[in-house]
Every structure is written in structure tokens, then in C-alpha cells.
Amino acid sequence: MSTLLVTGGCGFIGSNFIRHLLATDPTVRIVNFDGLTYAGNLANCKDLEGELRYKFVKGDITDRDQVRAAMQRGITDVIHFAAESHVDRSIQDSGPFVRTNVIGTQNLLDAAREFNVKKYVQVSTDEVYGSLGETGLFTEETPLHPNSPYSASKAGADMLVQAYQHTFGMNAVITRCSNNYGPFQFPEKLIPLFVTNIMNDVQVPVYGDGQQVRDWIHVLDHCTGVEAAWRSGKSGEVYNFGGRCEKTNLDLTTTLLDLLGKPHSLIKYVKDRPGHDRRYAIDCSKAERELGWAPKWTFENGIRSTIEWYKKNTAWTDGIKTKDYLSYYEKQYGA
């Protein structure tokens, strides 16, 4: 039986991953290690209370002693989701991003070496590649060119993982994924923020001309990709996951308005984000070929399911509005 240390398991992607793995593999145990910062929410894992194969441990990955204590719970593998992840916040203050994403990753790597974990999975982002032109796709061979403090901190963490794998022979892989959406996403990110605003007839802030392009993937497709990388990924390799679903921010916004039956007059154009990357798009053929993974959710089904989740879980959204979750553009433009 494997015992996984899942960092950031009370966050959006981490909580979906834990729920997925416990539901599909009866031989796995999970220790959820989360510092419960503003985006970490115990309510995301409330349905797991009482599950004997699940244990929550409150802890900070930037604290070496807390990481070591968690590793002493018989951990066999590490799946590292925990991160400061919002570009807008990194523009306001990059300090927490460097501490959590770089120093926190170093602490986990050192502890993984000390306790001889079987496998270490670093969950990263396509943003480390920078920005694409109008054509082309990010592959695992694309040079790193991060353009924000957030993506720079994630690139730094990825390079540490590669260095530990090469220098110490650690069994470590890196995954990089495009924009996620789905249930339990913290409402500072575009889709949950816009859905909850639109439901309440509040304007939604669209940066610049709204023609920035992102590739969207349902969070459960991302979770199965991380699982595949853990089970079958080759040490030292990078695996990209994407949904093959490119949309401009403006097209996505009008889709949400239409699905919720609200007028396009709720769009509020605001000054563009500093250094805003124009386009991301992922080539995930390596993961399909080597891991046997493929996205299962169409965007049409996924976005409708996501909207319905937020409609049915207003208590969840209301419950976290007491936290400081205003994003950069909300603070800047009063959206």
C-alpha cells in the first residue's frame, strides 16, 4: 500500500486529486499536508472526514521541521501541489511566492531524500514557458521563459527538482498543465470569479482587449494526468497536460454570460495586467503517448457542470468570502 504526502491538499486541484484517488484506488493512503493559507479551505475536504485512509495535517512547507514530521508518517511518495499560484498577487508582492514555491520545494526535496521516498511529483504550470505567438504549442522541450514573479518562482522550483534528480538520483518527475477549471476553485481565478459575479449581476473585469488566449482543462483531467505521471512517469521527465481547448478571455466571458442568461453589458474592460502573456497552448501528445493519458472532458460539458456546481454550492462561496481573496484587478479597479 502506498502512503502519499499530498501538499496543498485543501486547495482547488489538490482536493480534487485526493478525492479522485481515494475513490478509485482502495490501496492508497493519503496524508494531506496544508498550511491553510487564504486559498486552503478545510471545507474542500469535508466529505473525506471519517475516511480511514485519509489524514489531514496542518503544516507549512517552508518549515523544515514540520515537513520532516509529516514525512515520518510512513510516506512512500510525494505529490507536491502546494504553491502560491495567482499571478496578480505575485505582482503585488513576490516574497510569498519565492518563499513557498522555491524554499518550500527545497524543503520537500531534502525531506524526500532523507526519508527515501519512492517517487516525487512536482506539479507545475505552463506559465514557466512564457508566451506564445499566434501559432505553435508548448512542448516539454520549450525553453523556460517565465514572465511574472509567479511563473519565475515555479520555474525555479522546477529547476531544483531537475537538479536533485540529476545530482542525487531522485525518482522525480515534473508535470506542467494549462488553465484548470472545475469545482472548489478559489474565487479569485477567472472562471469562478466571473461565474459568481455574473450570478449576482456584478460586472466582470476583462483585461485590455480580452484577446489573451488560454488553453482550458477540466481539473479532473489534470488529476488523472498527475496520477499517470506518478504511476508511470519516467524519472527526470517532464509531462505536459492540456485540454486542447484554446479560448480568448473575451470569448470565455461571453460564453459564461450566455450560459447564465445575462447581458454582455456586465463586461467591464480594465487596464491590462503588467507583462500579461498573450497566449498559452499545450502539446500534450507526450503524455498521451507515454502515459496512456487523454483528456476526457469536453469544454462544453465541463463548463456547464462547473456552473451548476457553483449554483448549488453558494454556501461554500459565501463561507470563504470572509477571507482576503480580492485579486489584483479587483483591488485596482474596484470590480
Q: Which residues are known to be catalytic?
A: 126-127, 150
3-class secondary structure, 145: coil
Rounded distance between C-alpha atoms, residue 273 and residue 192, angstroms: 19
Our separate counts of H helices and E strands in the chain read: 13, 12
CB 67 within 8 A of CB 116: no
CB 79 within 8 A of CB 13: no
Rounded distance between C-alpha atoms, residue 80 and residue 105, angstroms: 8
User: In this structure, which amino acid lies at residue 125?
Assistant: T
3-class secondary structure, 189: coil
Rounded distance between C-alpha atoms, residue 119 and residue 41, angstroms: 27
Q: Kindly give the pairing relationship between strand 172-177 and strand 204-207.
A: unpaired
CB 100 within 8 A of CB 83: yes
